[in-house]
Amino acid sequence: MLLPRVRVAALIPRENAILLALHEKDGRRVWVLPGGGVDPGESMVDALKRELLEELGLAIVPKAIVHACEAIDPQGSRHLIQLSFLCECRADDHPRATGIDPRVVDAHFVSCEDIPRLDIHPPIQTDLALLMQQGFPHRLPLPANRWVNS
């Protein structure tokens, strides 16, 4: 049975641009919102903070969930659920590929006008451009651990 992979992503706006990371795998280059998978027992917020610090050397402050998407391979070999968090980082922080994840080869802020022309995975170019134009109008609060012992 295929289990979905939960991926958390940081949506970090700066002026009229957002931060994207360039991933290279099997000779293919794609842009992604920076982030990664949630490990068992790890909260989504903790996973997001860990991934951004490990991969890009950025300390972030997640503010709200602003986008969700799902991508399921028609052959059933991959199932991705991505939750994107509006985040802040210090204005003088500059993202850099740290080398911890060899797939991350670059990262920089990409203007809203250029986003629709990029190869982004999952393919959310239109969503990202619209969210930027609208100023992220729909914001869900950060998730909290709701586990209750009975």
Q: Which two tokens stand for residue 61?
A: 């402050």
CATH number of 5-134: 3.90.79.10
Half-sphere exposure at residue 49, Cβ-oriented, CA atoms within 13 angstroms: 11
Q: Compute the distance between CA of residue 91 and CA of residue 71 in angstroms, rounded to an integer.
A: 32
pLDDT > 70: percent of the chain: 99
The pLDDT assigned to 76 comes to 83
The pLDDT assigned to 1 comes to 62
pLDDT values of the chain reduced to their tens digit, one per residue, 150 residues:
678 999 999 999 999 999 999 999 899 999 999 999 999 999 999 999 999 999 999 999 999 999 999 999 998 889 999 999 999 998 888 899 988 999 999 999 999 999 999 999 999 999 999 999 999 999 999 999 999 887
The pLDDT assigned to 143 comes to 94
DSSP character at residue 116: G
- DSSP H or E run through 22: strand 17-25
The pLDDT assigned to 18 comes to 96
**Of 39, 140, 129, nearest to 84 (Cα)?**
140
| Residue 129 to residues 88, 95, 134, 142, Cα–Cα distance (Å) | 18, 21, 9, 23
Q: How big is the chain, counted in residues?
A: 150
- DSSP H or E run through 125: helix 125-134
**For residues 45-72, b (16+ Cβ closer than 10 Å) or e, as one string?**
bebbbbbbeebbebebebeebbbeeebe
Query: Which tens digits make up the pLDDT trace of 74-108?
Result: 988 899 999 999 999 988 888 999 889 999 999 99
The pLDDT assigned to 99 comes to 87
The pLDDT assigned to 89 comes to 92
